[in-house]
Amino acid sequence: MPTAEPAPGRNRVAIVVAVVAVLVALAAVIGVGLLVLDRRAEPPVEPSSAPTSPPGSVGPPPGNLTMRDDTTTITLTWTDPSDGLVPFMVAGGRNGQSLGMMATVDPGRTSYTVNGLSTRVNYCFAVLAVYDTDQFATSDQVCTSRQVDTTD
């Protein structure tokens, strides 16, 4: 008795459906992060003020966000309020514009280096502690203060 083999395109369809499902889930997580950042897209807070958590967060935000500006790279460092239990998302962009997701940092890591930056642009950054798929706590923003020549 002959054995029926699956139709040639059937496995390919299953793989495409799985990839689309993963992309939709990833887009949802990034979208939530962008919504949180849009609420915080305001001028940087003075270092003397304490960071606050947005409504709905389940834990404190990353603290003491600092940066080292080496012109084409910026190294961000922060304190972990979760003692290594939650991952972080790094967001950044040009000063005065909405921040976008740049990277995900594993739990326990408290630094990230952004490479390939323009020396003629000022940038702002924030770090989000990811407590759940829809619960983030966002740090204060830090921004570069480069002497930008606008005569070009």
List of domains in the chain:
35-143 (2.60.40.10)
Angle at alpha carbon of residue 27, lines to 21 and 29, rounded to 5°: 105
86-140 residue pLDDT tens: 999 999 999 989 999 999 999 999 999 999 999 999 999 999 999 988 888 999 9
Looking up tokens 């770090």 gives 127
The average pLDDT across 63-86 equals: 94
pTM of the model: 0.62
Return the C-alpha torsion angle 15, 27, 103, 98, nearest 10.
Answer: 160
